[in-house]
Amino acid sequence: AYGPCEPTICINPANTNNVAAGAILDRYYWSDDGGRTWQSGKLKSSHGVFGDPVLVADSKGNFYYGHLSDPEGKQWSGEKLLDRIVIQKSTDGGKTYSDGAFCGNRHPKDQDKHWLATDPKTNDVFCTWTEFDVYGSHDLEKDHSRILFSKSTDGGENWSEPLKISQF
């Protein structure tokens, strides 16, 4: 039902001929010749995969693929599904990805609009995202959103408790 869209692309700083990309809902791509030719795969995770891909690389050349979750496989059915931000790691140039870890599992609130960054000196990985009390709510008196922050100091294996960096 979804063609590849909402692309993300990242160049490996340790080997600039190695490029990784992603697209919704669960596609990933890699190139070892600077983007002249590409291979592809389908991302899988026990935490679910549901689009909004974001790719970053650390200075060692590891790729981190962040995305929304769909743990129950319901896709966009109007039921709760945006329960966490999943980050999967590739240590082989984007050819394969780990099952992943996650931040922001704060049910029943929805987690969305994430972004990733890495520290080139420490290779810590950072994630920011928006948490919605009720996704799409127009009741501004009752329902709010906030910007949260989490970091991993162990290559994406574990994530800190979210910190609120903005109440809006």
Flag residues of the chain having pLDDT under 70. 1-2, 73-81, 168
Which pLDDT belongs to residue 153? 98
Q: What's the pLDDT score for residue 77?
A: 56
**Looking at the whole model, is its pTM more than 0.95?**
no
Q: Write down the pLDDT at residue 73.
A: 67
Q: What is the pLDDT at residue 123?
A: 98
Helix H, strand E, coil C: the string for the chain is: CCCCCCCEEEECCCCCCCEEEEECCCEEEEECCCCCCCEEEECCCCCCCCCCCEEEECCCCCEEEEEECCCCCCCCCCCCCCCCEEEEEECCCCCCCCCCEEECCCCCCEEEEEEEEECCCCCCEEEEEEEECCCCCCCCCCCCEEEEEEEECCCCCCCCCCEEEECC
pLDDT tens digit sequence for 55-73: 999 999 999 999 998 777 6
